[in-house]
Amino acid sequence: MPLKSIRAWLGVDAPDSKDVAPLRDTLDALDHMEPERARFLASFAYLLGRVAHSDQHVSPEETRAMEALVQQEGHLTADQAMVVTQLAKTSNLLFGGTANFLIAREFSALASYEQKLSLMRCLFAVSVTDESISLAEEGAIHKIARELGIDQPDLVQLRVAHQRHLPGISNR
C-alpha cells in the first residue's frame, strides 16, 4: 500500500489540520526514506507482528517491544517506529495468512544472513514479553525460520537461549 494512500486514510493530507502536525512530520520522514530501506523495515516489522499476532492477540507489552526493536534496528525516531509498528500490526490483521510467505520472501531477499539472525533474535524477544512463548508463537517462529533459510544449528542456539520460556518446559 503506497504511503500516500496511508496518509489519506489517516487524514493527514488535510491542509488545515493542526492537530496532526507531528504525525504529518513523521509520515513525511518515512515518505522520504530510501525505497529498499523502507521495504526492509516494513517486512521486518510485519514479521515481528506476525509472531506477536500468532496467538490472535497482540498485548501492549508486545507492541512496546516491537516499537523498541523497530526503532533500534531501523534507526528510527520513536514516532516513526510507532507508525511502522502500527501499520505492521494492521497489515497482519488484514492480510495475515495470504501475505505471510510473500513478505518473508521479500525480507529474505533484502537481508543478509546476519540480519536474518538478528530478526530471529527479535522474534524471540517479542514472544517472551509475557515471560512465556506460546505454542502458536513458537510455531510462527519456526515457520519464519524455514522461510528465511535459517540453519538448524542457529535456530537451536536461539531456542536454547530462550529455553526457560518455551512451551512445556518448567521454569523451576
Tell me: the pLDDT tens digits for 3-43? 555 555 555 555 554 454 556 766 676 778 888 888 898 89
Cβ partners under 8 Å of residue 161, min gap 6: 124
Q: Which residue range(s) make up the domain with 82?
A: 34-165
Q: Classify residue 121: in a domain, yes or no.
A: yes
Decide if 42 is inside a domain.
yes
Q: 61-72, pLDDT tens digit by residue?
A: 999 999 999 999
Single pTM value for the model: 0.80
Q: Is 79 within the bounds of a domain?
A: yes
Number of domains the chain is built from? 1
Residue 125's CATH number: 1.10.3680.10
C-alpha grid cell for residue 104? 518473508
**Predicted pLDDT at 51:** 94
Q: What DSSP line would sit under 99-124, residue for residue?
A: HHHHHHHHHHHHS-HHHHHHHHHHHH
pLDDT in tens, 53-106: 998 889 999 999 999 999 998 888 898 899 889 988 888 888 877 789 999 999
Q: Is residue 27 part of a domain?
A: no
Greatest alpha-carbon span in the chain = 59
**Residue 19 maps to a domain:** no
Residue 22 placed within a domain: no
Q: Measured at the alpha carbon of residue 62, what is the angle toward residues 57 and 66, in degrees to the nearest 5?
A: 125
The verdict on residue 147 lying in a domain is yes
Residue 52 inside a domain? The answer is yes
